[in-house]
A = this chain, B = another copy of it.
Amino acid sequence: MREFDWIAALAERFGRTGPGVTVGIGSDCAVLAPAPATPIVTIDTMVQSVHFDLDYMTWADAGYRAVTTALSDLAAGGADPELPIVAFLSAAIPATVRDEDLAEMRGGMAGAFEKYGVTLGGGDTVAIPGPMVLTCTFIGHAPKPMTRDGAKVGDAVMVAGHLGAAGAAVHLLRNQQARMDDDALLAAYRRPEALIGLGRALADLGATACADVSDGLLADAAHIAEQSGLALHLSLDAIPTHPALAAHPAFDDEERLRLSATAGDDYALVFTVPRDLVGNTVALAARFRVPCVHFGECVEGRPGAIESTWRGEAYTPEKLGYEH
């Protein structure tokens, strides 16, 4: 191996063309099909032991997760799941990784590619004297792209999806407390799903800004506030903690809140909408079977500043989110 092999092995499973790709693997460049809507692009890098820990998940999980976390960015951008999604993957692979592990990782990626209808556009496989590094560039198409900079003073701040599960799973794994009935938490961490249909529908409805909750709810809300040049007032009492965390005996209320508000890796969507759309938004999310909560307001103030309350008092976590 492996300078030319790993991505090619993934391509073998999917062929050299597909929706959105006229010519894929094999040339200096992939040739894309004409874009059916505005192209949106995300790039994400994951380093072994920093962003994915093989003590806590399988190689297949790591592959699946690399794909769905990139898709989650496309969801936040308003990508249409029916329009082409094209992936470019780069893998820097240490000599110590076994071929069967690489095959397992490919299998995990392939599962996510199939589930979400992703076309492999191209990639690069190189050797590295260090940890494995996986970089995913995904191109989607958004009829109405969403960014982080469109929130307006007076808009409602909302979150759709479950929070805190991945953070709880990491805590349990790290402290060797995970048990048989923690499957739901562990799955949320190891095999996150991307809310890509919901993102597109929120854009249509009129969401003004959106981010996925990868760094942590407060951190990602702050990114929206910063990019939009405003501040946020948030109330954390009703944010949608994952049911398996809400019922879990290993955590007290304050730990549940901290995990839900700051732990990240949840891939929920945090977004802003004009106030009169709050009801419609909750109804829309229900159609996607996702809890959706209005938990704050956009206000004038220092860009990115957040004031949050919990049980009637100011809540100021040590960190807004997780930095790897």
Q: Which residues of A contact B (CB under 8 A)?
A: 3-4, 22-23, 26-32, 34-35, 38-47, 49-51, 72-74, 76-77, 79, 86, 88-92, 121-124, 126-131, 133, 135, 137, 139-140, 142, 145-149, 210-212, 223, 227, 323-324
Which residues on B sit within 8 Å (CB–CB) of A92? Answer: 45, 47, 133
Contact at B40–A32, with CB atoms within 8 Å? yes
Q: Which residue in chain B gives the minimum CB-CB distance to A126?
A: B45
A211 touches B77 (CB 8 A): no
One complex includes copies of this chain to the number of: 2
Query: Judging by beta carbons under 8 Å apart, are B77 and A31 in contact?
Result: yes
A181 to B32, CA, bound (A): 45
- Assess whether A50 is in contact with B131, with CB atoms less than 8 Å apart: no
A39 pairs with B47, CB closer than 8 A: no
Known A-B contacts A28-B212, A31-B142, A92-B47; A23 and B126 likewise in contact (beta carbons under 8 Å): no
Q: Which of B31, B42, B135 contacts A45 (CB 8 A)?
A: B135
| A28-B77, A135-B45 known; A50+B129 contact, CB < 8 A | yes
User: Would you list the 5 A-B pairs with minimal beta carbon distance, nearest first?
Assistant: A130-B130, A29-B77, A27-B147, A28-B76, A29-B40
Our pick among B22, B23, B129, B148 for the contact of A28 (Cβ within 8 Å) is: B148
Known contacts A31-B40, A31-B145, A139-B139; 17 additional CB pairs below 8 A are A3-B323, A3-B324, A22-B38, A26-B149, A27-B77, A29-B40, A29-B73, A31-B142, A32-B41, A39-B39, A41-B122, A41-B137, A43-B123, A45-B126, A49-B129, A92-B133, A126-B324
Most buried by B among A47, A79, A212: A47
Contact sample, A vs B, 5 pairs, CB 8 Å cutoff: A31-B39, A41-B122, A43-B123, A43-B135, A128-B131
| Contact indicator B50/A128 (Cβ below 8 Å) | yes
A139 / chain B contacts, CB cutoff of 8 Å? 41, 139
Contact B121 A29 (CB under 8 A): no
Asked whether, in the complex, the Cβ of B131 is within 8 Å of the Cβ of A129, the reply is: yes
Please determine whether A149 and B23 come into contact, CB atoms closer than 8 angstroms: yes
Q: Which residue of B lies closest to A125 (CB)?
A: B45
Q: Are A31 and B38 in contact (CB under 8 A)?
A: yes
In the complex the two chains form, is A43's CB within 8 Å of B126's CB?
no
Q: Of B34, B135, B146, which is within 8 A of A35 by CB?
A: B34
Residues of B within 8 A of A47 (CB): 92, 126-130
Contacts of A44 in B (CB 8 A): 90, 124
Cβ-defined partner of A130 (8 Å) among B73, B128, B135 = B128
